[in-house]
């Protein structure tokens, strides 16, 4: 796990030093810069977090024997030993025990096809002097970030983080309106766009080839639903998934540093911890975050640490827990700096704090249960769409005339705490009467079309939000739906939702904040449930193995029964959240009043000050749960001050 940066079409050592210095946290163990003054000048910069082969032989940029190839690599290749054995038979010699050198020789042997042979997470760039080309690749699911910007005269700049690219004076610090709308609708921006004008994400599963002054993006992997339509029976699928998970967890435990695990007490992290324990044959170290009783009460949060302790006891784990009440006013701007993009999900703070504890305890690699909800239909929105199909059978006059007005009139909080069931009911009814796929999007969108139009200032709305359906973040979901249905016309709704979530929600939100937050603490987070073989397996399953009746992640739970107590496997779904509502109402109140004042809103020119004031007032009065909306508005203002105004 490291940080990479590079320039193509020019080579500027001073710039590369700035680009690597600003991502020092990604690799405090070593660094390096190389310039290539060939027909096409190229510059590579690198910061190293040593995980495999801690010796100086792992130094990057790394060259092959004759110096014709050079690589900078961020990530881990879990099948590198198998590939190395194959390459040794072909006559390749290795100086180090690193997976970096394996990629270098794999490229020498298979060229642009080499990513298809890799199993892991990566973003790497190879300078090929023979071809006068730069080959850049990003892993299949988007576990590792890779940003780039096109400059004048066919030049290009790329890096692991946006803040590296912004070190170039040629890259304008300008807002991309589609990124603003995306953050408001979903709290994140679907790839390939970002909230920075002119800065793109290399899409997951793609290569970027720069040669002869041209930059070409080519896709080497996608969800194809191969085998979809078959049904081998539950027993066969349980055996297959169990074997897949044991294999991927075993591979991802390989490291020359201490490896630990996130443990929330939920199904996914508990299963990963159980498989790690089985593979290691001795207790592992787990890390759990807990909040104060006061914060949990206001959030109406479940008692996660009770379940985490139960799992740790069952596994005999070395249980580490941190009870926190962070200085959120100080921490929020820091997280905005590390996240680069205005990702308005407070779960990023949890990840950072757990990884910080782990690092201070001597752990450098952490395995998490991220990804299972996307590929096995574990989110409330997946269940809500199914329940909504039943709700729509109720006569419309009863829905719109009785049920919905009654629920909307209910408060979501009082002075003493929040009402979780009311929050859920209001969110469900917001989209329940829509067509199925519209309901899927609407269920986790924070505004509908009329609400968004009301929120935006007239000028911004006229310039950037003329049509709801054509708005980038909404349109991107429908584009993915059409791609998948063209590939597999008979795709069931649950698998379709999972596929869109995997390509959109997982890549652009969960994996993005996980990488940035863990690397902010110089910790490598690995996500075995996102191994592409597991993802391919999940997307060929019949619907009932993901969502069976009202049971979510059905097949995964059947596997988990082999390793965990049933009270863990079948406990109520609990999000990996933070006491956001308590923070918004108490700790952040003064900051919100400053950043979202009428004067500041009017000065920025993006929002309607009255609409923002109403959102805050209705939340304070307990009439609506607007905590995420307020958090997103606050995040956008602080992000703009930090990255665009450079005044924070």
Looking at CATH, the fold of the domain delimited by 234-375+496-569 is given as Rossmann fold (3.40.50)
Phi and psi torsions of 410, nearest 5°: -75, 145
Contact, 295 vs 349, CB < 8 A?
no
Nearest alpha-carbon partner for 72 in 152, 135, 132: 135
Instruction: Give me the pLDDT at residue 1, please.
Output: 67
The H-assigned helical ranges of 205-339 are 234-252, 267-280, 293-299, 304-315, 328-339
Looking at CATH, the fold of the domain delimited by 2-219 is given as 3.60.20
- What is the biggest distance separating any 2 CA atoms in the chain, rounded to whole angstroms? 77
Q: Which residue has 């009654």 as its token pair? A: 406
Give per-10-residue mean pLDDT for the chain (648 aa): 94 98 96 94 96 90 96 97 98 96 98 97 97 97 98 96 98 97 98 98 98 95 96 97 98 95 94 97 93 66 80 96 84 96 93 94 96 96 86 75 72 63 73 88 94 97 93 97 97 97 97 97 97 98 94 97 95 75 90 96 97 95 91 98 89
Return the H-helix or E-strand segment holding 507: none
User: Is there a catalytic annotation at residue 504?
Assistant: no
Instruction: Give me the pLDDT at residue 289, please.
Output: 87
Residues in the chain: 648
Nearest alpha-carbon partner for 244 in 9, 28, 577, 555: 555
Structure tokens at 613: 């004031």
Instruction: Give me the pLDDT at residue 339, please.
Output: 97
Say how far residue 288 (Cα) sits from the centre of its chain. Answer: 20
Q: What b/e string do you get for 448-483 counting C-beta neighbours within 10 Å, with b at 16 or more?
A: eeebbbebbbeebbeebbeeeeebbbbebbeebbee
Contact, 481 vs 489, CB < 8 A?
no
Cα four-point dihedral sign 22, 515, 471, 592: negative
Instruction: Give me the pLDDT at residue 389, please.
Output: 80
Examine residue 67 and say whether the peptide bond preceding it is cis (omega within 30 degrees of 0): no
Q: Which SS3 state, helix, strand or coil, does residue 201 take?
A: strand
Pairing relationship of beta strands 155-159 and 147-151 according to DSSP bridges? antiparallel
Phi and psi torsions of 273, nearest 5°: -60, -40
Return the H-helix or E-strand segment holding 545: none
> Residue 428's CB: how many other CB atoms inside 10 A?
20
Return d(Cα 207, Cα 20) in angstroms, integer.
Answer: 22
- This prediction has a pTM of 0.94
Contact, 135 vs 128, CB < 8 A?
yes
Return d(Cα 648, Cα 639) in angstroms, integer.
Answer: 9
Q: Which SS3 state, helix, strand or coil, does residue 343 take?
A: coil
Q: Which SS3 state, helix, strand or coil, does residue 69 take?
A: strand
Return d(Cα 298, Cα 587) in angstroms, integer.
Answer: 13
Q: Where are the domains of the chain?
A: 2-219, 234-375+496-569
Instruction: Quote the DSSP letter at residue 363.
Output: -
Using left for φ > 0, alpha for ψ between -120 and 50, and beta otherwise, residue 136 falls in beta
Q: Which SS3 state, helix, strand or coil, does residue 123 take?
A: strand
Instruction: Give me the pLDDT at residue 464, please.
Output: 95
Nearest alpha-carbon partner for 572 in 261, 263, 241, 265: 265
């Amino acid at each position: 796990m490291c940080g990479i940066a590079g320039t193509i079409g020019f080579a500027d050592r001073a710039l590369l030093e700035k680009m690597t210095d600003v991502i020092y946290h990604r690799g405090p163990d070593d660094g390096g810069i190389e310039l290539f003054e060939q027909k096409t000048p190229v510059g590579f910069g690198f910061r190293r977090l040593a995980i495999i082969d801690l010796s100086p032989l792992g130094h990057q940029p790394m060259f092959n024997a004759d110096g014709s190839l050079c690589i900078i690599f961020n990530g881990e290749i879990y099948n590198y030993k198998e590939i190395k054995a194959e390459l040794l038979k072909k006559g390749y010699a290795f100086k180090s025990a690193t997976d970096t050198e394996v990629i270098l020789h794999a490229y020498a042997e298979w060229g642009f096809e080499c990513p298809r042979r890799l199993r892991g997470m990566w973003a790497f760039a190879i300078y090929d002097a023979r071809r006068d080309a730069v080959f850049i690749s990003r892993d299949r699911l988007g576990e590792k970030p890779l940003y780039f910007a096109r400059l004048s005269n066919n030049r290009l700049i790329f890096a692991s983080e946006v803040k590296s690219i912004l070190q170039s004076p040629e890259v304008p610090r300008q807002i991309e309106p589609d990124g603003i709308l995306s953050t408001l609708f979903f709290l994140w921006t679907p790839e390939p766009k970002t909230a920075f004008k002119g800065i793109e994400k290399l899409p997951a599963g793609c290569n970027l080839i720069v040669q002869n002054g041209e930059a070409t993006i080519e896709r080497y992997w996608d969800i194809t639903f191969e085998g979809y339509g078959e049904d081998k029976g539950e027993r066969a699928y349980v055996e297959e998934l169990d074997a897949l998970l044991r294999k991927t967890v075993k591979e991802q435990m390989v490291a020359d540093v201490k490896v630990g695990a996130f443990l929330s007490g939920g199904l996914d992290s508990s299963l990963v911890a159980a498989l790690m324990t089985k593979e290691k044959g001795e207790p592992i170290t787990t890390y759990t975050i807990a909040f104060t009783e006061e914060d949990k009460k206001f959030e109406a949060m479940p008692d996660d640490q009770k379940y985490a302790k139960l799992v740790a006891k069952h596994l005999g784990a070395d249980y580490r827990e941190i009870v926190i009440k962070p200085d959120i006013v100080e921490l929020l701007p820091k997280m905005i700096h590390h996240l680069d993009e205005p990702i308005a999900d407070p779960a990023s703070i949890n990840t950072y704090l757990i990884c910080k504890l782990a690092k201070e305890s001597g752990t450098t690699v952490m395995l998490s249960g991220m990804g299972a909800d996307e590929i096995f239909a574990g989110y409330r929105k997946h269940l809500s769409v199914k329940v909504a199909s039943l709700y729509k059978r109720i006569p419309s006059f009863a829905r719109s005339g009785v049920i919905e007005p009654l629920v909307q009139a209910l408060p979501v909080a009082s002075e003493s705490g929040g009402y979780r069931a009311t929050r859920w009911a209001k969110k469900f009814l917001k989209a329940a009467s829509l067509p199925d796929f519209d309901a899927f999007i609407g269920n986790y969108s924070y505004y509908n079309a009329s609400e968004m139009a009301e929120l935006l200032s007239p000028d911004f709305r006229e310039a950037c939000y003329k049509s709801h359906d054509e708005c980038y973040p909404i349109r991107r979901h429908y584009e993915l739906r059409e791609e998948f249905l063209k590939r597999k016309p008979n795709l069931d709704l649950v698998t379709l939702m999972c596929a869109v979530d995997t390509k959109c929600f997982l890549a652009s939100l969960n994996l993005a904040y996980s990488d940035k937050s863990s690397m902010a603490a110089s910790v490598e987070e690995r996500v075995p449930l996102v191994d592409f073989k597991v993802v391919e397996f999940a997307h060929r399953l019949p619907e009932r193995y993901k969502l069976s009746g009202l049971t979510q992640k059905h097949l995964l739970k059947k596997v988990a029964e082999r390793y965990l107590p049933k009270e863990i496997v079948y406990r109520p779904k609990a999000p990996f959240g933070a006491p956001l509502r308590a923070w918004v109402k108490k700790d952040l109140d003064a900051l919100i009043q400053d950043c979202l004042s009428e004067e500041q809103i009017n000065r920025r020119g993006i929002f309607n000050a009255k609409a923002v004031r109403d959102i805050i007032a209705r939340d304070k009065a307990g009439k609506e749960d607007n905590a995420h909306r307020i958090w997103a508005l606050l995040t956008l203002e602080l992000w703009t001050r930090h990255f665009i105004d450079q005044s924070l």
